[in-house]
Amino acid sequence: MPHDTIELTTPVGRDWDPVVRLVLGGIADRLNLGFEELDDLQLAVERLLLEAGTQDSVMLAFDISETGVRTRIGPLRAGALAEALQGPPPPPGELTLRRILETVVDSFGVEQVAEDGQLIVRLEKVVRGA
Amino acid sequence: MTVASAPSSQLDDRELLRRYHVDGDRSARELLVQRHLPLVRALARRYAGRGESLEDIEQVGAIGLIKAIDRYELSREVALTTYATPNVVGEIKRHFRDKGWAIRIPRGLQELNAKMSSTIERLTAKLGHSPSIAEIAIELQTTPESVLEAMEAGSAYAPVSLSAGPGQEGELDPMETIGTEDANFERSEQRASLEPALEMLPDREREILRMRFEDGLTQTQIAEQVGVSQMHVSRLIRKSLARMRAELS
């Protein structure tokens, strides 16, 4: 399967989550991801969209290959979010955004955007057995 | 042997109700709930096939049973089963009316969604892995698009707490958290930690979050341990996280 990209700019707000979930569902179907893996990826994206807070819109880019999907979400106006994701691991028993992402995706990272403090969060979900 | 020293399981409903209401014996209440769950299941079956899983309906019915036990007055000359039946049925009907489908979903999609839970469980056992959308579609003799639509329809359904009981009525419906303005955006670091709100969750839902995010169990593994469907686990995790976050906001 060639490397494909889907880009989506969506208003921020829970009313728009179904649109994002359906896009992810279509990608999961294309990649033959399991139901639970799709559910996990949807949860990760939803959590990050919540962090977009009062932003009007946010862009999602899905890079799809035969080995998995890389989702990039941003720019997000949250410097503290970067600290939360890049700082030391949370102690055992503490439920943080970082721990949630560590559980539901294969890897994640934060990319700084220019000098304005905005950031893009990158999520990787791998196709099992690919 | 006196009545007081008899094993609780051998006591009749009336004595257990007395122990609960007069002595404050919560184990008596637990025993009553367990004893009458078959009644709840029988009543719940009458409402199966209306777009919600039987498991969900049973959970709702159990709330009605607990309420009946809590509201039962010892001065009544009526059997608990007689008193509980309209309570259980009323709770189920109220659920369908108020909490079932938060937005209007075509009946076909509701029915497809209701079948998905058991289908996913069956396929997971058969295939040894979480089934793909295509595998679910083949099993349900429908299209992947319909499966995705049905899954989305399911997100319009407000799940019932596993630990439902007194005190649950005032809990936030997930729909109440939709579209809330987040005026404290700059406090995102604080919001990134959900810990402070964890304590407000019922024990069982907290335990499910712990199993998922601390022990790293999959939803399927949690479902097996807790005794509910994987889809129900998924809904409860989402609901718990949404509730915690709403609390922090």
Q: How far apart are CA A89 and CA B17, in angstroms?
A: 50
- Chain B positions touching A99 (Cβ under 8 A) are 213-214
Among B134, B188, B214, whose Cβ lies nearest the Cβ of A92? Answer: B214
Rounded alpha-carbon distances, angstroms, from residue B108 to A23, A58, B116, B119, B149: 22, 33, 12, 16, 11
Which pLDDT tens digits describe chain B residue by residue (249 residues)?
Answer: 444 556 677 789 999 999 999 999 989 999 999 999 999 999 998 887 666 778 888 888 998 999 999 999 888 778 999 999 999 988 888 777 665 555 566 778 878 888 888 899 899 999 999 999 999 999 999 999 999 998 888 776 554 444 333 333 333 333 232 233 333 333 444 445 666 667 778 888 889 999 999 899 999 999 888 888 888 899 889 888 888 877 766
Sign of CA dihedral B230, B233, B239, B242: negative
DSSP 8-state assignment for residue A100: H
Residues of B in contact with A98 (CB under 8 A): 192
Q: For the CA atoms of B45, B79, B98, B223, what is the dihedral angle to 10 degrees?
A: -50
Is the pTM higher than 0.90?
A: no
Nearest to A13 among B133, B179, B195 (CB): B179
Contact status, residue B110 vs residue B101, Cβ threshold 8 Å: yes
Closest-approach residue (CA) in chain A for B181: A54
Mutation for A interface: B121, B124, B132, B248, most A CBs within 10 A: B132
DSSP secondary structure of B100-147: IBSS---HHHHHHHHHHHHHHHHHHHHHSSPPBHHHHHHHTTS-HHHH
Are B198 and A95 an interchain contact pair (Cβ–Cβ within 8 Å)?
A: yes
What single-letter DSSP state applies at residue B97? I
Smallest Cα distance from A45 to chain B, Å: 12
Q: Kindly provide the ipTM of the predicted complex, given to two decimals.
A: 0.87
